[in-house]
Structure 1
């Protein structure tokens, strides 16, 4: 599964639409995108996904947005992008990768844990306070945000 990564300086309409599938707030995306490094992942068939990496606290890099093109989902691309994020973090001196997702985002929670992320905290009512409209996932109203982290260190030889 060979992907080509291109830095996003100005998102194309397709990239914008994909970013909104992972974060339904254009306002929030517009706030964190200029503070981040964003990538579009492509293969021979076209756009596979987008990945937004935002520096946070000392040596912590946040995956602010990760979205896979709908017809390319469930083919392992999210794991490939997470591995790209891990490698990028190592190359740029980060020690921890952080990701936040909804408590009702069951597929994402499973994916992150399969990739070595561990839950570190829950922010009660984050989504009800941050987003102007209610969000429903898996038949549940999304209220709480779950923060997960993974250590990323260079292999010791």
Structure 2
């Protein structure tokens, strides 16, 4: 049994920047996509423990723009719960493709998405250089390119 509650954040409600900033570097970067995205939060008994922001890129493609889990809930399957919820939302709304982008230095994230049914689809060259004012480092390497992964929901 799933002890968590999954809820869409109502339009006009406060944007959960504290959670979103766990997965994105700046509020300015979040503001580029969040107002055209639907935000969902996962709650335990007392508070929001995870967030996912979904953005329609077209009538067939839904993108995970942000997904984050608070630190003390990581490595417990929460990310996979969010992915399953995103797949269900996408299918219920007629999308046939769910996509996500992550850094070329995010080795753990790449493995996570592949484990959850995503396959590499492409790359957005110099994405992190062009979209963030300061260099960002992960695993001791400067983030440069975004790896785009896709999950075909029509299968």
SS in 2 for 1:52: strand
Structure 1 residue runs of 4+, over 3 Å off? none
Match of residue 11, structure 1, among 11, 14, 20:
14
The structure carrying a bigger helix percent of its residues is 1
Find the counterpart in structure 1 of residue 35 from structure 2: 34
Shift of 1:47: 1.8
Count of residues paired in the alignment: 152
Shift of 1:2: 3.3
Find the counterpart in structure 2 of residue 119 from structure 1: 120
| 1: CA distance, partners of 2:14 / 2:68 | 13
Shift of 1:45: 4.7
Shift of 1:46: 2.6
| 2: CA distance, partners of 1:133 / 1:57 | 30
| 2: CA distance, partners of 1:66 / 1:29 | 12
Give the unaligned 5+ runs of structure 2: none
| 2: CA distance, partners of 1:110 / 1:146 | 12
| 2: CA distance, partners of 1:17 / 1:46 | 12
| 2: CA distance, partners of 1:134 / 1:17 | 21
Find the counterpart in structure 1 of residue 71 from structure 2: 70
Give the unaligned 5+ runs of structure 1: none
